[in-house]
């Protein structure tokens, strides 16, 4: 098949029979037409269509090494710095289309599969068959242009104990049966973003296993179709209100549904089991395979597009209400400009300083990307929304809806709600966007999502400190202290 069109994606989604629960309703068919999922599915369909747009085709796709069909560039195994740049160019097209508000576009998990498909040395520590299986799965996903989501962590029940101890060991998803032809999974996992509109669910290690015998049933990696028997998704309530793109410019386009996954004795055939047991390898799943590096390369590309969007939005607001000349406003704009340029520099440095792995994959420099993934969630992302709120102030609350511009009060609205540069309706449209980007339910979910994107920021910081080579720097300090 190769790269799919949007219609092909929607047709397959509608043909699937998942078990979804949302707003008290059970949904098992025609997902792409359901009100809770339709808008996001249509947005993802547009991403698929971009692969066939003559303006983007050669960036978003390349010729498959096995079939010659055009397939997604996010499946390209990087062998050089130029390949990393090529992958980033493809990431940028999708990221700029959504302005970074779609956090689970296909190129994210595709990047993971691309790295894992080549990590022969890693899988050979357990059994080479695992590496062979995931390579075949990667090729299947590439040739069929599948959209995958993933789930990582146990349910948030009692965080004072490990996942294997919650509910007597019966809450977190675990292997309850090993058969000759596969395994059976029972329990729950969080938090599968875009699950209702995906083709596949990747269930990868949580990376927080302790390596005790009790952890063995929770040590696995596998993939299942989104409508596998026994697989259930419990979705959160929607964040939009079903209003127009004028009133909800972001939520109406880019809201990605999140869901808790329940495995009710889900059978996973052997060919879809990529690791079983070996908690020490589960904990090294991302670091030793290169998956973490390729995934973070995609993420930083996306967050750059998002930061650029907020710089553009802040600049538009400043121009609209005549505050661009104030020094405190310029200071904030300067801060946003710095964020943008630092993220660009991070990407270039990660690519330029990349190296070939033992498996022959050219991976971006991890230390650079790791710095970005620690910096953005806690330092940059919160400031983006804060600056928009500061610039907009009461303008975020003095907002007529689209329908008000068709009502009898239109003349007063046109008179009193215009801006220095915009008529009232255009001003309202701009500030509706600012509202959705900074204070709406959609914006709140985005802030939470970005803050915990890679996990607990405190734990991430600890991991960065423990892994970073600081001894040479300490030696410089000791050398200075020892001088006469």
Mark the binding-site residues for FAD, compressed into ranges: 150-152, 156-159, 193, 456-459
Annotated binding site: 104-108, 150-152, 156-159, 193, 206-207, 456-459
- CB environment 12-24: b (16+ within 10 A), e (fewer): bbeebebbbbbee
d(CA 482, CA 484): 7
Strands of the 220-225 sheet, one edge to the other:
148-151, 200-203, 220-225, 273-276
Q: At what angle do helices 106-116 and 128-144 cross, to 10 degrees?
A: 150
User: Cα(392)–Cα(430) distance, rounded to whole angstroms?
Assistant: 10
Measured distance CA(322)–CA(447) in Å, rounded: 28
* Cβ atoms of 283 and 208 closer than 8 Å: yes
What is the C-alpha separation between 322 and 335, in angstroms, rounded? 19
Binding residues for substrate: 104-108, 150, 206-207
63-66's contacts with Cβ under 8 Å and 24+ in sequence apart are 64/2, 64/142, 64/143, 66/139, 66/143
Q: Can you give the length of the chain in residues?
A: 484
C-alpha distances in angstroms, 137 versus 63, 155, 200, 251, 276? 18, 27, 11, 33, 16
38 contacts: CB under 8 Å, gap ≥ 6: 32
Q: Which helix (H) or strand (E) holds 322?
A: none
Closest CA to 398 of 437, 421, 431, 441: 431
């Amino acid at each position: 098949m190769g790269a799919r069109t949007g219609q092909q994606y929607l047709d397959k989604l509608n043909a699937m029979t998942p078990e979804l629960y949302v707003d008290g309703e059970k949904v098992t068919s025609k997902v792409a037409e359901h009100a809770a999922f339709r808008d996001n599915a249509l947005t993802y369909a547009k991403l698929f269509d971009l692969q066939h747009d003559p303006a983007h085709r050669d960036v978003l796709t390349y010729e498959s090494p096995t079939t010659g069909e055009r397939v997604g560039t996010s499946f390209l195994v990087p062998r050089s710095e130029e390949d990393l740049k090529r992958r980033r160019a493809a990431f940028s097209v999708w990221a700029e289309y959504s302005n970074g508000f779609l956090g689970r576009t296909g190129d994210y998990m595709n990047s993971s599969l691309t790295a894992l498909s080549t990590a022969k040395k890693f899988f050979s520590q357990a059994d080479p068959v695992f590496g062979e299986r995931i390579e075949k799965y990667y090729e299947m996903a590439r040739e069929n242009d599948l959209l995958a989501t993933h789930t990582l962590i146990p349910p948030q029940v009692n965080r004072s104990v490990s996942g294997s101890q919650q509910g007597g060991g019966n809450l977190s998803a675990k292997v309850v049966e090993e058969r000759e032809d596969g395994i059976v999974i029972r329990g729950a996992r969080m938090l599968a973003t875009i699950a209702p509109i995906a083709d596949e669910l990747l269930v990868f290690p949580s990376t927080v296993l302790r390596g005790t015998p009790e952890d063995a049933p929770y040590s696995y990696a596998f993939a299942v179709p989104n409508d596998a028997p026994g697989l259930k998704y419990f979705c959160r309530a929607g964040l939009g209100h079903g209003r127009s793109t004028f009133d909800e410019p972001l939520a109406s386009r880019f809201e990605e549904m999140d869901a808790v996954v329940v495995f009710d004795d889900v059978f996973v055939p052997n060919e879809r089991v990529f690791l079983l047991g070996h908690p020490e390898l589960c904990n090294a799943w991302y670091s030793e395979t290169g998956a973490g590096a390729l995934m973070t390369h995609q993420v930083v590309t996306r967050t750059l597009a998002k930061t650029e969007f907020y710089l553009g939005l802040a600049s538009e607001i400043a121009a609209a209400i005549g505050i661009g000349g104030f020094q405190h406003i310029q200071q904030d704009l300067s801060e946003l400009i710095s964020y943008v340029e630092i993220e660009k520099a991070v990407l270039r440095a990660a690519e330029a300083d990349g190296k070939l792995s033992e498996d022959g994959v050219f991976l971006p420099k991890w230390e650079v990307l790791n710095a970005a993934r620690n910096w953005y969630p806690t330092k940059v992302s919160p400031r983006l929304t804060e600056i928009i709120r500061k610039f907009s102030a009461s303008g975020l609350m003095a907002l007529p809806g689209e329908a008000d511009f068709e009502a009898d009060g239109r003349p007063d609205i046109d008179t009193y709600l215009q801006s220095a540069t915009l008529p009232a309706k255009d001003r309202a449209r701009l500030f509706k966007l600012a509202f959705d980007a900074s204070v709406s339910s959609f914006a709140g979910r985005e802030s939470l999502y970005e803050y915990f994107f890679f996990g607990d920021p405190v734990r991430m910081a600890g991991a960065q400190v423990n892994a970073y080579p600081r001894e040479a720097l300490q030696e410089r300090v000791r050398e200075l202290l020892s001088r006469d």
